[in-house]
Structure 1
């Protein structure tokens, strides 16, 4: 007899990057506008719109879309998933062994779990989604309590101070108290 399959997590337990749909739309809009402008300019040349010219414009716009399209970040209790265009990375955040937030390249938080899985999260995503950060922070505390988090506790503490201060600044600015 097979063991019962674990029940799927309720959708309410999964937190998503709330700004991703808007950023994805903006990336599509930028690459679409560039495609339109490039095709109009190519059509205005003495040779007119040619197949190689159109393919070049399309290629350029696809490359721009790949560059601009942000990764989609979601977190469930104990799990962080970062979905890029071609690669999905999942890290068990309650079993972290290393956290890195380099001071000189402060744009990304790198996480590694016991199984060797790695993921990187853009700091802007964490600043724009405090609940997502709080979930990662709570799971990292669980890792520290269980003794698995060996590297990066100072980085984690420094990042927590940074995120909480930025969140407080944003709340004060939005409420008009700055």
Structure 2
């Protein structure tokens, strides 16, 4: 059985890999489990509160109970955080249903999308695209290190022509926060 067949068998037949990207995860978002747990708790709390209010009124039925369960599950789906992982020369963002992956050493553009929630948008030569909150990189220096290493390779090879400004601003922010944390832990701040 070949590598691709093994991956399909292991993941239920739905594997989307960028050619040449190994599957070994080197770093991941350490706050993801906490955020996922919070999503579950919020969904359970809302569904449970609605069901409890219905029981208190004495008007609960199977269809109404099912409706409250669907509302709770919908809230979990809306609040579910994307999971950011990196490996050797790749970065993946897994949402509720799909995973998107880019080759960090083959990046062509890095953009920062500001809006209600700021997003970092990465695109590689194959047209693959990922989008995630840049706070994930600030909270996980190892993720930032792997992304920065790949982006430097892409810049050195001449592929990354658009994105020096967002990466520089992000590097300054992450380095500044790291220095403040280090000073605070040493008792110098």
User: Under TM normalisation by the shorter chain, which class is it?
Assistant: 0.7 to 0.9
Partner residue in 2 for 1:15: 27
Deviations 1:62-96 (A, max 9, x none): 12101211111110011001000012100001000
Superposed counterparts of 1:44-59, under 5 Å: 44-47=56-59, 49-59=60-70
Whether 1:154 and 2:165 are equivalent positions in the alignment is yes
Separation of aligned partners in 2, 1:4 and 1:120: 28
| Contact 1:106 1:123 (C-alpha < 8 Å) held by counterparts | no
Rounded to whole Å, the distance in 2 between the matches of 1:29 and 1:61 is 10
> RMSD value over aligned CA atoms?
2.6
CA distance in 1, matches of 2:42, 2:124: 36
For structure 2, which runs of at least 5 residues remain unmatched after alignment? 5-20
Alignment correspondent of 1:33: 45
**5+ residue gaps in structure 1?**
none
Q: CA deviation at 1:168?
A: 2.0
Q: Does 1:85 align with 2:96?
A: yes
Q: Check whether the contact 1:23–1:69 (CA below 8 A) recurs between aligned residues.
A: yes
The number of aligned residues is: 174
Counterpart secondary structure, 1:163: helix
Task: Decide whether aligned partners of structure 1 residues 121 and 175 sit closer, same or farther in structure 2, where only a CA change above 3 A counts.
Answer: farther
